Amino acid sequence: MYTSSPIYNNKNFFIRKNSTLPVLKYLLTQRIREKYDITDDMLENVAITFSMIQVKNSIYKIANVPANLVINRQRPEFPDEVEYTLTYNFKIKDTNMAGLFRGEFVLDFLGDNCGKIKMPVSGDLNIWINDSITMTEVV
């Protein structure tokens, strides 16, 4: 079954060829933050990039492009916790070729907390760009 819903630490993400939606989302879970000792202060001074490589030929389609960190403080079920999500907004040129790709976010901590962490920390983030049955052009 085809699903175009954004991922939250699911290892498969689906998007149509020549599409910019949905937005790729990767939840920076509390477990990951605790395991790698990532504090809220560290996330205030971080550079985040996204890369995507084609599996069949190991050529980068996207290399170290700025990504976003979305901060959600409005969580009624856990009012004391802040939720962080890494996101990447695809451009049409990013999805103009169908196939299987592997994605990766890199968090580059700046200042006193320097260091890098790659997400996902285990396994692969599979990005499936599927052929579209229609091609629209805005004029």
Domains, the chain, ordered by start:
12-130 (2.60.40)
In contact, 137 and 23? CB cutoff 8 Å: no
pTM score of the predicted model: 0.85
- Any idea what the Cα angle at residue 22 is, between residues 21 and 27, rounded to 5°? 145
User: In tens digits, what is the pLDDT along the chain, a chain of 139 residues?
Assistant: 334 445 455 689 999 999 999 999 999 988 889 999 999 889 999 999 999 999 999 999 999 999 999 988 776 676 677 889 999 999 999 999 999 999 999 999 998 878 999 999 888 999 999 997 766 666 6
DSSP state of 123: S
> Residue 71 corresponds to which tokens in the numbers above?
């901060």
- Please name every residue paired with 83 in a beta bridge, in sequence order, or none if there are none: 72
DSSP state of 57: T
